[in-house]
Amino acid sequence: MESVIERIKRGSFSQFHGGIHPPEQKFLTCSKPIASAQIPEQLIIPIRQHIGQAGNVMVKVGDKVLKGQILSDCDSPMSVPIHAPTSGTITAIKSMAIPHPSGLSEACIILTPDGEDTWKQRHICPDFHLLSKTQILEKIANAGISGMGGAGFPTQVKVSTLAKIDYLIINAAECEPYITADDLLLQEHSPTILDGIKILDHLLTPKNILIGIEENKTKAIAALKKATADTDHIDVCVIPTKYPSGGEKQLIQILTGQEVPSGVLPSSLGIVMQNVATCFAIADAVINDTPLIKRVVTVSGQALEKPQNIWALIGTPVGFLTGQCGYNNSQNMHLIMGGPMMGFSLPHDQIPVIKTTNCILAPSEIEIASPFSSTSSKEVECIRCGQCADVCPAQLLPQELLWSAKAKDQAQLAKLNLFDCIECGACAYVCPSQIPLVHYYRVAKAEIRQQKLLDIKAEKAKVRFEARKQRLEREKVARVEKHKKAAEARKARMNTDTSAAKSEKSAVADALARVKAKKAQASIKQNTAEGSLTSTVEMTAEPVDDSKSQVANAIARAKAKKIAQKNQAQIEPLDTLQNNELPSSSQAAPVVIDKKAKVDLAITKEKANENKPQAETISNSPTAQVNTTTKALLIEVVNLASVSDDKATQALNKKVKVAAAIAKAKAKAKTKTAASLAAETSFDRTEPSTTPANIDVMQDSDTENQVKNIEEAKAKNLAIKSQQISNATSSSIKSEQDSMLATQADIVATKKARVAAVVAKAKAKKLADSSNKSTTSE
């Protein structure tokens, strides 16, 4: 079977689908030498001139830079650095319009040349064989070389492939009309291009090297054949002229007969393709240590006086180049970057030349009909003629792509393999409806790329959200665990028998008590607020709800009865003590104590005489509870006054105070009976037994020794009684509070209970004052 090389040597090539033969118009520039680069007043250098990410800017405004100095580095394989095309000063770093069909603006470095064109230090390496592959790849990467045929793919990535390469194809087809940059580069610099091909041969070690060039470039073909005459595995393949034979997939098919499937890289088929301009840049970088700072640009069109190819510094405004070629812009005609088939119109002439710029067109009105031209035709509806599909080299369905693009149906565009479109413009060229099909495809591609970016951002945001959620959950679990451990440690500490543990226990108990008190206070406040609207009326003895009043009365009666029984139990021992158990012997006692003891005894006796016959009667009165409690407390207070120098009595004094406070709280907790209590608890001035008349009787009755003994016994009994009263009162209050809450009568009672408490407190104070006065008078 005939091999590919044998077939090529025989001059037989495969054909790709479709294609067109537009007017070449290469005669304008193909026979003129490349003009040397001139330095403009200002260079506009976009940071991103390739497919991939932009590099990091390494200079700042005001920096002086040398020719070839790096301006941005890269930390990603898909990022390519940029360099200063000449020496000068960085005057700005700002967003400016870049060469793109969308007219987008991106960050650009503005360099004002100093005119000296001073190079940075370079290391020339005439023999690249002395370098390792890694060093060569590093030089290519540091030189900022990206595909100069138009794609802008980072070259170091393309030539770093580990795949086994069968064919290294050098693309010299340059099929688009008007463009002759590669043609002239081949004519003038074939040896350097061959050096670049040899470097690629050294890196990729392909089985065959094929240079594809269209048959319309006779001078370039001759130069190439002369340069490659001494090489045995490099074949110059002269192919038929047909647009777009310079497309990557199309040229591969022409030379090797293989079709590259959709979504598959040529390297996976063992094929790598490089442009001739890229080969020149590789040689310049590896051998001359020269970064990619200039390129050949075809400046053509019948609107120019001197169309020609020019060495242009990267960043040169197109207006500067067209000015070199005698462009008269008096008619304000538009410029095109790229060829007439794949190029795009520029918004103004200050758009800079970048690494992928191969042509600037300044067409006359009769050359290219355009929307800006008076001779342009207007777009009409698709007539479904199918001519676009016939010429499509990617075998797509351009009319269906058009409809889906107009409908923004991205799913359908994906099914129609929109991204296989090489934007060759052949479909638009043949369209009888003058539809700018490529424009629609570019917009659709940009929208899909934008949507993909948004999807990626959304996915990243989702990942961040999930990570945050998990982190918060972990922190919550850790916090709970930490608190649990701390609680266990605290519990362990408190269980130890140390003073610190006791102190901590006490602190915890105090804290709990404060919390409870706060809760109770809040509850009372809430109840008070709820009952505020009716409190005024109720305090002025308005009749209250019968059911609530009955409940409150029942509680008050039960309480009064209970306290009366307790009082009775307290008084009986005192009677016994007074009548039967007085000690026979006694010691001399201070006069004050003697008097107080007598007063105490008289009070006790009178109280006993009062309580005994009336206990049953007063227990039914709401006032009985308060009066009885008050009397008992008064007795104890008076007794305490007489034994204040005794330690046990001091303790009792505290307990009595506690009992008084509890009685006050209890009075506050009174509900429905408050009104009646307030009415009935009017102070009974005849009740206290500490009147001067009673004291006189006591003075006449007993001896001082007997009184002292009685006092001691009474102090002891009072201590017991006080404790009993305190306990009974606390229990009573608690049960009452529960009952009150259960009966929901506490709203009105709170106010009334406060009144009762105030009355009780006043009564107690008055009684105490009276007692003191009587004691003093004695």
Binding site for ligand SF4 (CB under 6 A): 382-388, 391-394, 396, 398-399, 402, 421-427, 430-433, 435, 437-438
| Minimum distance, C-beta of residue 399 to ligand SF4, in the bound complex (Å) | 4
46 vs 393, which CB is nearer to ligand SF4?
Answer: 393
What are the DSSP calls for 228-256, one per residue?
A: TTT-SSEEEEEE---BTTTSHHHHHHHHH
344 vs 683, which CB is nearer to ligand SF4?
Answer: 344
| Minimum distance, C-beta of residue 101 to ligand SF4, in the bound complex (Å) | 13
184 vs 444, which CB is nearer to ligand SF4?
Answer: 444
417 vs 735, which CB is nearer to ligand SF4?
Answer: 417
| Minimum distance, C-beta of residue 163 to ligand SF4, in the bound complex (Å) | 26
279 vs 396, which CB is nearer to ligand SF4?
Answer: 396
55 vs 247, which CB is nearer to ligand SF4?
Answer: 247
424 vs 718, which CB is nearer to ligand SF4?
Answer: 424
| Minimum distance, C-beta of residue 245 to ligand SF4, in the bound complex (Å) | 13
60 vs 384, which CB is nearer to ligand SF4?
Answer: 384
387 vs 629, which CB is nearer to ligand SF4?
Answer: 387
253 vs 694, which CB is nearer to ligand SF4?
Answer: 253
Show the CA angle centred on residue 694, arms to residues 693 and 696, nearest 5°: 65
| Minimum distance, C-beta of residue 97 to ligand SF4, in the bound complex (Å) | 25
| Minimum distance, C-beta of residue 173 to ligand SF4, in the bound complex (Å) | 16
What are the DSSP calls for 630-694, one per residue?
A: HHHHHHHHHHHHHTTT-HHHHHHHHHHHHHHHHHHHHHHT--TTHHHHHHHT---TT--S-SHHH
428 vs 599, which CB is nearer to ligand SF4?
Answer: 428
**Strand intervals (E) in 124-255:** 167-172, 208-214, 234-239
Q: Which residues contact 60 (CB under 8 A, 6 or more apart)?
A: 90, 93
Report the candidate in 583, 630, 582 with the shortest Cα–Cα distance to residue 607: 630
| Minimum distance, C-beta of residue 442 to ligand SF4, in the bound complex (Å) | 10
| Minimum distance, C-beta of residue 250 to ligand SF4, in the bound complex (Å) | 10
| Minimum distance, C-beta of residue 152 to ligand SF4, in the bound complex (Å) | 18
| Minimum distance, C-beta of residue 413 to ligand SF4, in the bound complex (Å) | 12
List residues bridging with 109 in a β-sheet: 45, 93
Q: What's the CA gap between 158 and 495, in Å, rounded? A: 75
Which H or E run contains 310?
strand 308-313
What does the block give as tokens for 288? 């001359």
Angstrom distances, CA of residue 62 to CA of 47, 89, 96, 110, 111: 17, 6, 19, 10, 10
Q: What's the CA gap between 118 and 139, in Å, rounded? A: 21
482 burial type by CB count under 10 A (0-12 exposed, 13-18 middle, 19+ buried):
exposed
211 vs 422, which CB is nearer to ligand SF4?
Answer: 422
What does the block give as tokens for 583? 């000690």
148 vs 401, which CB is nearer to ligand SF4?
Answer: 401
| Minimum distance, C-beta of residue 342 to ligand SF4, in the bound complex (Å) | 8
**Strand intervals (E) in 59-173:** 64-65, 70-73, 82-83, 88-97, 105-113, 167-172
| Minimum distance, C-beta of residue 273 to ligand SF4, in the bound complex (Å) | 17
425 vs 688, which CB is nearer to ligand SF4?
Answer: 425
Strand order in the sheet with 70-73: 56-57, 70-73, 82-83
Report the candidate in 2, 3, 5 with the shortest Cα–Cα distance to residue 210: 5
| Minimum distance, C-beta of residue 419 to ligand SF4, in the bound complex (Å) | 10
| Minimum distance, C-beta of residue 210 to ligand SF4, in the bound complex (Å) | 23
| Minimum distance, C-beta of residue 155 to ligand SF4, in the bound complex (Å) | 24
Q: Hunting for tokens 């007489």 — which residue is that?
A: 642
| Minimum distance, C-beta of residue 387 to ligand SF4, in the bound complex (Å) | 4
34 vs 426, which CB is nearer to ligand SF4?
Answer: 426
Using DSSP, state whether 469 is helix, strand or coil: helix
389 vs 725, which CB is nearer to ligand SF4?
Answer: 389
Q: What's the CA gap between 338 and 342, in Å, rounded? A: 6
Report the candidate in 363, 357, 361 with the shortest Cα–Cα distance to residue 311: 357
Counted residue by residue, the chain has a size of 778
Backbone angles phi, psi at 131, to 5 degrees: -100, 150
Using DSSP, state whether 305 is helix, strand or coil: coil
| Minimum distance, C-beta of residue 92 to ligand SF4, in the bound complex (Å) | 37
Q: What's the CA gap between 144 and 159, in Å, rounded? A: 14
371 vs 583, which CB is nearer to ligand SF4?
Answer: 371
Q: What's the CA gap between 173 and 182, in Å, rounded? A: 8
601 burial type by CB count under 10 A (0-12 exposed, 13-18 middle, 19+ buried):
buried
Backbone angles phi, psi at 642, to 5 degrees: -80, -20
Q: What's the CA gap between 535 and 753, in Å, rounded? A: 12
What does the block give as tokens for 730? 């606390």
Q: What's the CA gap between 308 and 256, in Å, rounded? A: 34
112 vs 241, which CB is nearer to ligand SF4?
Answer: 241
List residues bridging with 359 in a β-sheet: 298
| Minimum distance, C-beta of residue 381 to ligand SF4, in the bound complex (Å) | 8
What does the block give as tokens for 527? 């109840």
417 burial type by CB count under 10 A (0-12 exposed, 13-18 middle, 19+ buried):
middle
Max CA distance (Å), the chain: 158
